[in-house]
Amino acid sequence: MTEKIYYQDSHLFTFDAVVLDCREEKTGYSVVLDRTAFFPEGGGQLADTGALGTARVLDVHEREGEIRHCTDAPLRIGERVKGSVDAEQRLRRMQNHSGEHILSGLVHGTYGYENVGFHMGAECMIIDFSGELSWEQLTELETRANELIRADLPLHIWFPEEKELKTLEYRSKLELTENVRIVEIPGVDRCACCAPHVSRTGEVGVLKILDSQRHRGGERVSVICGLDALEDYRARQESVTEISRALSAKRGEVARAVQRLLAEQQTMKEKSDALSLALIRYMAEAEGETGGNILVFSEVLGEIAQRELVNLLMEKAGGFAAVFCGSDREGWRYIIGSRRLDLRRGARTINGLIEGRGGGTSRMIQGSARAGRAAIEDALKTLSV
Residues that bind Zn ion in the complex, under the rule CB under 5 A: 43, 193
From residue 137, alpha-carbon distances to 93, 132, 157, 311 in Å are 26, 10, 29, 58
Residue nearest to Zn ion (CB): 193
Q: How far is the CB of 222 from Zn ion (least distance, A)?
A: 17
Q: Taking the complex as a whole, how short is the minimal distance between the CB of residue 69 and Zn ion, in angstroms?
A: 22
Cα 9 to Cα 105: distance, rounded to the nearest angstrom: 23
3-state DSSP call for residue 147? helix
**CB-nearer residue toward Zn ion: 33 or 194:** 194
Q: For residues 176 and 258, which CB has a smaller minimum distance to Zn ion in the complex?
A: 176
Helices (H), 112-204: 135-150, 162-167
Shortest approach of Zn ion to residue 190 CB, angstroms?
11
Smallest distance from Zn ion to CB 121, Å: 15
State the Cα–Cα distance between residues 296 and 333, nearest whole angstrom.
12
List residues bridging with 60 in a β-sheet. Answer: 69
E-strand spans in 171-313? 182-185, 189-192, 207-215, 218-225, 294-298
91 vs 193 by CB, closer to Zn ion: 193
* Gap between the Cα atoms of 335 and 321, Å rounded: 8
Q: Which is nearer to Zn ion, 43 or 50 (CB)?
A: 43
Q: Nearest distance from residue 100's CB to Zn ion, in Å? A: 7
Contact 68, 28 (CB under 8 A): no
CB nearer to Zn ion: give 193 or 365.
Answer: 193
Of 44, 50, 115, 52, the C-alpha closest to 82 is: 52
Residue 322's identity, in one-letter code, is A
Given a contact cutoff of 8 angstroms between Cβ atoms, the answer to whether 33 and 21 are in contact is no
CB of 251 to Zn ion, least distance (A): 37
Q: Residues near 149 by Cβ (< 8 Å), separated by ≥ 6?
A: 99, 102, 201, 202, 204, 205, 206, 207
Which amino acid, residue 259?
Q
Q: Which is nearer to Zn ion, 47 or 350 (CB)?
A: 47
Q: Of 57 and 193, which CB lies nearer to Zn ion in the complex structure?
A: 193
In the complex with Zn ion, the residue whose CB is nearer, 43 or 226, is 43
Q: Find the shortest distance in angstroms from Cβ 10 to Zn ion.
A: 12
SS3 238: helix
Minimum CB separation from Zn ion for residue 97, in Å?
Answer: 6
